[in-house]
Amino acid sequence: MEYNFRNIEQKWQKTWDEKDTYKAEIDKDKPKYYVLDMFPYPSGAGLHVGHPLGYIASDIYSRYKRLNGYNVLHPMGYDAFGLPAEQYAIQTGQHPAITTDKNIKRYKEQLVKIGFSYDWDREIRTCDPDYYKWTQWVFIELFEHWFNKKTQKAEPIAELIKTFESEGNKDVDAACDETSLFTADEWKKKSEKQQQEILLNYRLAYLADTMVNWCAELGTVLANDEVKEGFSVRGGYPVVQKKMKQWSLRISAYAERLLNNLEKLEWTDSLKEIQRNWIGRSEGAEMKFKLKDSDLEMEIFTTRPDTSWGVTFMVLAPESELVPQVTTDEYKDKVDEYIKETKKRSERERLADAKTVSGQFTGGYAINPLTNQEIPIYISDYVLMGYGTGAIMAVPGHDSRDFKFARHFNLPIIQVVVKDGEEPTDPQTWDDSYDGKEGKMIHSGFINGLDVNEAIEKTIQHIEKEGIGNRKVNFRLRDAIFSRQRYWGEPFPVYFKDGIPYPVKKENLPLELPEVDAYLPTDKGEPPLGRAKDWHTEEGYPYELSTMPGFAGSSAYYLRYMDPHNNNALVSKEANEYWQDVDLYIGGTEHATGHLIYSRFWNKFLFDIGWVCKDEPFKKLINQGMIQGRSNFVYRVKGTNKFVSYNLRNEYEVTPIHADVNIVNNDILDTEAFKNWNPEYKDAEFILEDNKYVCGYAVEKMSKSLYNVVNPDDIIEQYGADTLRMYEMFLGPLEMSKPWDTNGIDGVHKFLRKFWRLFHDNDFNFSVSEDEPTEDELKILHKTIKKVTEDIERFSFNTSVSAFMICVNELTDLKCNKKAVLEPLAIILSPFAPHITEEIWSLCGNIGSITVADFPTYEEKYLVESSFEYPVSFNGKMRFKIKLPMDISAKDAEKQVLGHELAQKWIEGKTPRKVIFVPKKIINIVI
RNA sequence: GCCCAGAUGGCGGAAUUGGUAGACGCGCUGGACUUAAAAUCCAGUGGCCAUUAUGGCUGUGCGGGUUCAAGUCCCGCUCUGGGUACCA
């Protein structure tokens, strides 16, 4: 039979399904290996060829690990809550569950067709109540724990209450907002409501008034990672800052651990760097500046306490509570005016003209605790309320933002650091400040002459001794805002009694999403859940109206896969102890500051409370690159319906128009198909070159609107899944972005046909021989085993595809049809092309599946060569080659080379100055 | 602005530790088979020059450097992609 990929692929996909070939079960006799893909959001558009890239890579690795005797957990599921289904529901009235279910069916069909080795029994959907029961459970656990800074871990609120009852809160060092001190007696005297309000401040999931990112168009608040440059990542709508009472998760408590543990992860440096920047740790000091003629103090954070002698003004964030207190009557109107102006400006506008300096003097003064000088206090929006204390000491000589501000308001600039080897200069002549940390201190009292780093240390010691301040580490990482005023998400398992939130009892989970009559806010402006009937407890206490955000369901999904049907726990101890953590995680970098931080945080929390045995969820992580689209263009002559071919376009005035890549082949347009593509082009005329219409092209993002989307189903229909899998890998290194160009796919398809033909005679009868292989044949096989093994281990799948091609080309040349060579070849090819190899395996007479065969190990003995063909260079330029024995000595090699007739020409009668002989590499002669 | 990647033929890319640059594939050119086309097979294919066979020069974004030897290491730039955005 000829290679009939359609029959073969359907047949084996059916068999795998019927025989549960990819079912994973705990097997303590085998080492485990957990390979995870970032599960997709099932959008209405279905998968395009870019989506499965990472899935194919992880599938190859999973199959490779299985062949090497590992018990592989390789699951797939759906991140099924989300905005698009809800937006669609708002427009059409169709319940998002129905849309989502339909989309998931389509996704699954597409995924199955590619031949992935997923254990579909473990499929999860975040919108399934049996699944989100555990999302809600984790939320309650977060609610019932606080973060003890002394032990650096989460501890039960119940224990905290006991501490409060016995000794108050004076010795409690918690991650929380500042709280006033109370004794045990005072605690006991507080009302239930007062106590709960205090506890809320300690909980890891807490409700508080915070500045949130409000997106009016989406009608919801968003987390920091969901906002980019003042717009929502989803939809691109404007986002403004607003103070609202919202649920937040105290991820900032884990900042230090999230940062430190990055070191032990096998992630790419760039991804770790993104997380490091997002966490943003900075070391410095907090210092108190007394206000002039007042008992009040303003507290500032600085990383450069050494520059305290260079402070010439202070700046407060416009929102700071201190503003009214420092503002004098004289400046009140101007300050109010400035605050009003700032509030009007959106985040976006502020960012857009970050270069414009603005601010206002308050009339107030602070006293520099180190110099006792009076320092004027300004307000300006370049100081952010959300970071540090919302107040800074400005050192214009050594901070570029302060420098700009000083120049704008004509404030004095003092130099306190001199670069090594330089003399002090007049700051009036400077173009910018000197922000570097190399140099010596001047004009700085007792730290004069010290290096910056010594000076920082000495200053901190001084201020701590004098009680003016203390050492302090600050993080940029904010707590994660966890409420969404939307319908299609997990309901919070929380009800309110007297305005205080209480968790739903765990045995009553899941708290299921109620039906509503419309997916819109209520007339009162409440979230959609405000429309639900009976949305309250049996006792009549109202449930929370917000739902959880997208990252809720994805923060612990990798744990649920370990034990997806467990009704009594998120994951059983047994399953967790066996599968432990994800050994290999493949997905896009776009989740670096969202999902990948949140799930590390959830995992650490679950680790703290003893539910999971590993404190990091994803041991090794690879980022696959994006597959870009390759768009095609036709060129319409302006004002006509004529289209001119690419190389003639400069002779006319033309408008380039996107043409659907699916009607273009090797940049040649199918003109008939083009006429039928769009009624507008029905009567199109073409100006051809060489009788063809040649299209232009460009690499762009793959998108419907650019008509460059290629659907995997179409590729599978035409070439088969094995070809698609191998071609996606052949395109280039996994981590790099590259354009999809269907044109190259023929080569990979031809390879599979050639592979098929090795096992068949000229009449396509299956025919393999039992003869002993020759040395050459074994060398080809073992060379390939070696190369492919090494390549898979370092995730270099594109080069292994090349190695397979070389191998099949060479075996074809030798007309080799020996089973002893071809069968092992089929095994090493099976992770890449599972269907064709499964068929071959069965044709070879094997009973079981090729997926549980043994991956062959290469044997060095077949690769031993007796000679090596040395490239001979003269002054570094390769001139000719010479075959020499493997174990030749340098001396003999030199003699042989210099005696070679071709060498004479290059030596030109001179005496070579030097001969370099690198065994098995090169010979270089220096003339 | 800052941080991180990357730049190699017409195209995707290979060269794993400083050691033959361009593997493999696409495309293109020529040929075989065919009434023809498709499929398949064979040969050629970085550029320039010379062609009589052997050839020669040049070439990995640009400019320097280290080295017997540099796509690979060092210094200085340019461009492209990604992250971040007043974080004190």
Confidence of residue A505 (pLDDT cuts 50, 70, 90): very high
State how far the alpha carbon of A347 is from the alpha carbons of A67, A213, A359, A655, in Å. Answer: 54, 10, 16, 38
Confidence of residue A349 (pLDDT cuts 50, 70, 90): low
The answer to whether residues A379 and A316 touch, using CB atoms and an 8 Å cutoff, is yes
Q: How far is the CA of A879 from the C1' of B51 (A)?
A: 20
Domain's final residue, options A419, A451, A473: A473
Secondary structure element (H or E) that encloses residue A127, with its range = none
Q: Of all nucleotides in the shown strands, which has a C1' nearest the CA of A916?
A: B68
The answer to whether residues A589 and A630 touch, using CB atoms and an 8 Å cutoff, is no
Among A149-158, A779-788, A858-867, the minimum mean pLDDT is found in: A858-867
Give yes or no: residues A850 and A870 share one domain.
no
User: CA-to-CA distance for A369 and A299, rounded, in angstroms?
Assistant: 11
**What is the pLDDT at residue A625?**
87
In chain A, residues 324 through 353 whose Cβ sits under 7 angstroms from any atom of nucleic acid strand B: 350-351
Q: Of all nucleotides in the shown strands, which has a C1' nearest the CA of A747?
A: B25
Choose between A513 and A738: higher pLDDT: A513
Choose between A386 and A43: higher pLDDT: A43
Give yes or no: residues A352 and A457 share one domain.
yes
**What is the pLDDT at residue A865?**
81
Angle formed at CA A78 by CA A5 and CA A229, multiple of 5 degrees:
115
Is residue A365 one of the residues assigned to a domain? yes
User: CA-to-CA distance for A117 and A817, rounded, in angstroms?
Assistant: 29
User: CA-to-CA distance for A284 and A228, rounded, in angstroms?
Assistant: 28
Give yes or no: residues A175 and A307 share one domain.
no
In chain A, residues 790 through 829 whose Cβ sits under 7 angstroms from any atom of nucleic acid strand B: 790-791, 794, 796, 798-799, 801-802, 805-806, 809, 813
Is residue A840 one of the residues assigned to a domain? yes
- Contact between the CB of A471 and strand B at under 7 Å: no
Confidence of residue A138 (pLDDT cuts 50, 70, 90): very high
| The pair of three-digit structure tokens given for residue A849, joined into one six-digit string | 């599946």
Give yes or no: residues A413 and A438 share one domain.
yes
- Contact between the CB of A408 and strand B at under 7 Å: no
User: CA-to-CA distance for A460 and A468, rounded, in angstroms?
Assistant: 10
Give yes or no: residues A882 and A842 share one domain.
no
Domain's final residue, options A473, A495, A516: A473
User: CA-to-CA distance for A676 and A680, rounded, in angstroms?
Assistant: 9
* Residue A772 CB partners (closer than 8 Å, separation 6+): A818, A820
Domain's final residue, options A638, A665, A700: A700
CATH (domain of A398): 3.90.740.10
* pLDDT at A347 > cutoff 60: no
Q: How far is the CA of A274 from the C1' of B82 (A)?
A: 10
The protein residue nearest B69 (Cα–C1') is A876
* pLDDT at A846 > cutoff 70: yes
Average pLDDT on A276-280 reads 90
Give yes or no: residues A318 and A357 share one domain.
yes
Q: Using one digit for the tens of pLDDT, what is the confidence trace for A221-251?
A: 888 788 777 777 777 787 777 788 899 999 9
Q: How far is the CA of A66 from the C1' of B1 (A)?
A: 49
Confidence of residue A385 (pLDDT cuts 50, 70, 90): confident
From the number of C-beta atoms within 10 Å of its C-beta (0-12, 13-18, 19+), residue A303 rates as middle
Give yes or no: residues A831 and A878 share one domain.
no
User: CA-to-CA distance for A265 and A585, rounded, in angstroms?
Assistant: 12
User: CA-to-CA distance for A618 and A615, rounded, in angstroms?
Assistant: 10
* pLDDT at A754 > cutoff 80: yes
* Strand B nucleotides with an atom less than 7 Å from a protein beta carbon: 3-5, 11-16, 19-21, 23-28, 39-42, 55-57, 68-70, 81-88
In chain A, residues 211 through 240 whose Cβ sits under 7 angstroms from any atom of nucleic acid strand B: 224-225, 228-229
Is residue A337 one of the residues assigned to a domain? yes
Confidence of residue A354 (pLDDT cuts 50, 70, 90): low
As a dihedral over the C-alpha atoms of residue A289, residue A293, residue A295, residue A301, rounded to 10 degrees, the angle is -10
In chain A, residues 361 through 380 whose Cβ sits under 7 angstroms from any atom of nucleic acid strand B: none
Q: Average pLDDT, whole number, for chain A?
A: 90
The answer to whether residues A168 and A184 touch, using CB atoms and an 8 Å cutoff, is yes
CATH (domain of A852): 1.10.730.10
**What is the pLDDT at residue A348?**
56
The closest alpha carbon to A493, from A472, A473, A513, belongs to A513
- The answer to whether the Cα torsion of A398, A401, A407, A409 is positive or negative is negative
Tell me how far the alpha carbon of residue A433 is from its chain's centroid. 36
The closest alpha carbon to A199, from A494, A493, A500, belongs to A500
* pLDDT at A345 > cutoff 80: no
Choose between A381 and A204: higher pLDDT: A204
Is residue A726 one of the residues assigned to a domain? yes
User: CA-to-CA distance for A414 and A148, rounded, in angstroms?
Assistant: 43
From the number of C-beta atoms within 10 Å of its C-beta (0-12, 13-18, 19+), residue A826 rates as buried
The number of residues making up chain A comes to: 927
Q: How far is the CA of A732 from the C1' of B14 (A)?
A: 10
Is residue A306 one of the residues assigned to a domain? yes
Confidence of residue A384 (pLDDT cuts 50, 70, 90): confident
User: CA-to-CA distance for A142 and A52, rounded, in angstroms?
Assistant: 35
End-to-end CA distance of chain A: 62
| The pair of three-digit structure tokens given for residue A652, joined into one six-digit string | 């006319």
- The answer to whether the Cα torsion of A846, A849, A854, A856 is positive or negative is positive
Among A21-30, A349-358, A552-561, the minimum mean pLDDT is found in: A349-358
Choose between A741 and A580: higher pLDDT: A580
User: CA-to-CA distance for A893 and A898, rounded, in angstroms?
Assistant: 9
Give yes or no: residues A748 and A814 share one domain.
yes
User: Strand locations in A717-820, DSSP E?
Assistant: 738-739
* pLDDT at A907 > cutoff 80: no
Secondary structure element (H or E) that encloses residue A365, with its range = strand A360-367
Secondary structure element (H or E) that encloses residue A17, with its range = helix A5-18
The answer to whether residues A725 and A114 touch, using CB atoms and an 8 Å cutoff, is yes
CATH (domain of A877): 3.10.20.590
* pLDDT at A697 > cutoff 60: yes
Give yes or no: residues A795 and A871 share one domain.
no
* Residue A326 CB partners (closer than 8 Å, separation 6+): A291, A296, A298, A316, A362, A363, A364, A366, A377
In single-letter form, the type of residue at position A714 comes to D
Q: How far is the CA of A743 from the C1' of B28 (A)?
A: 14
- Contact between the CB of A381 and strand B at under 7 Å: yes
Domain that holds residue A640: 627-700
Q: Using one digit for the tens of pLDDT, what is the confidence trace for A456-466?
A: 999 999 999 99
Confidence of residue A293 (pLDDT cuts 50, 70, 90): confident
User: CA-to-CA distance for A372 and A552, rounded, in angstroms?
Assistant: 51
A220: phi then psi, degrees, rounded to nearest 5: -150, 165
Give yes or no: residues A896 and A852 share one domain.
no
* Residue A445 CB partners (closer than 8 Å, separation 6+): A309, A370, A371
Question: Is the omega angle on the peptide bond into residue A510 within 30 degrees of 0, that is, cis?
Answer: yes
User: CA-to-CA distance for A488 and A89, rounded, in angstroms?
Assistant: 10
Average pLDDT on A338-365 reads 75
- Number of helices (H), then strands (E), in chain A: 29, 35
User: CA-to-CA distance for A725 and A732, rounded, in angstroms?
Assistant: 13
Select the highest-mean-pLDDT range: A216-225, A543-552, A656-665.
A543-552
* pLDDT at A350 > cutoff 80: no
Give the DSSP letter of residue A462: H
Q: Using one digit for the tens of pLDDT, what is the confidence trace for A391-449?
A: 999 999 999 889 989 988 999 999 999 887 788 888 888 888 888 888 889 999 899 98
In chain A, residues 759 through 788 whose Cβ sits under 7 angstroms from any atom of nucleic acid strand B: 787
Total number of domains in chain A: 5
State how far the alpha carbon of A545 is from the alpha carbons of A498, A525, A534, A751, in Å. Answer: 16, 11, 12, 58
The answer to whether residues A486 and A520 touch, using CB atoms and an 8 Å cutoff, is no
Q: How far is the CA of A749 from the C1' of B37 (A)?
A: 21
The closest alpha carbon to A82, from A101, A98, A103, A96, belongs to A96
ipTM of the complex: 0.94
In chain A, residues 861 through 890 whose Cβ sits under 7 angstroms from any atom of nucleic acid strand B: 869, 871, 873, 875-881
Helix (H, G, I), strand (E, B) or coil at A915: strand
Q: Using one digit for the tens of pLDDT, what is the confidence trace for A69-106?
A: 999 999 999 999 988 899 899 889 899 999 999 999 99
Helix (H, G, I), strand (E, B) or coil at A681: helix
Q: Which residue has the tokens 């555990």?
A: A134
**What is the pLDDT at residue A765?**
87
Confidence of residue A793 (pLDDT cuts 50, 70, 90): very high
The answer to whether residues A629 and A275 touch, using CB atoms and an 8 Å cutoff, is no
**What is the pLDDT at residue A126?**
97
Give yes or no: residues A375 and A448 share one domain.
yes
Q: How far is the CA of A210 from the C1' of B54 (A)?
A: 82
Parallel/antiparallel/unpaired status of strands A738-739 and A627-637: parallel
Give yes or no: residues A767 and A807 share one domain.
yes
| The pair of three-digit structure tokens given for residue A439, joined into one six-digit string | 């140099």
User: CA-to-CA distance for A895 and A441, rounded, in angstroms?
Assistant: 67
Is residue A122 one of the residues assigned to a domain? no
Average pLDDT on A241-267 reads 90
Is residue A632 one of the residues assigned to a domain? yes
* pLDDT at A54 > cutoff 90: yes
State how far the alpha carbon of A163 is from the alpha carbons of A156, A171, A182, A403, in Å. Answer: 11, 9, 12, 49
Tell me how far the alpha carbon of residue A818 is from its chain's centroid. 46
Helix (H, G, I), strand (E, B) or coil at A222: strand
Q: How far is the CA of A866 from the C1' of B23 (A)?
A: 23
Average pLDDT on A369-383 reads 92
Angle formed at CA A225 by CA A220 and CA A227, multiple of 5 degrees:
55
- Contact between the CB of A747 and strand B at under 7 Å: yes
User: Strand locations in A389-534, DSSP E?
Assistant: 391-394, 417-418, 440-441, 469-475, 480-481, 494-497, 500-503
**What is the pLDDT at residue A875?**
83
- Contact between the CB of A354 and strand B at under 7 Å: yes
C-beta atoms surrounding A210 within 10 Å: 19
Which residues are bridge partners to A239 per DSSP?
A: none
* pLDDT at A283 > cutoff 60: yes
Average pLDDT on A718-740 reads 92
Is residue A610 one of the residues assigned to a domain? no
**What is the pLDDT at residue A517?**
92
The answer to whether residues A327 and A364 touch, using CB atoms and an 8 Å cutoff, is yes
The pLDDT > 70 percentage for chain A reads: 99
- Contact between the CB of A387 and strand B at under 7 Å: yes
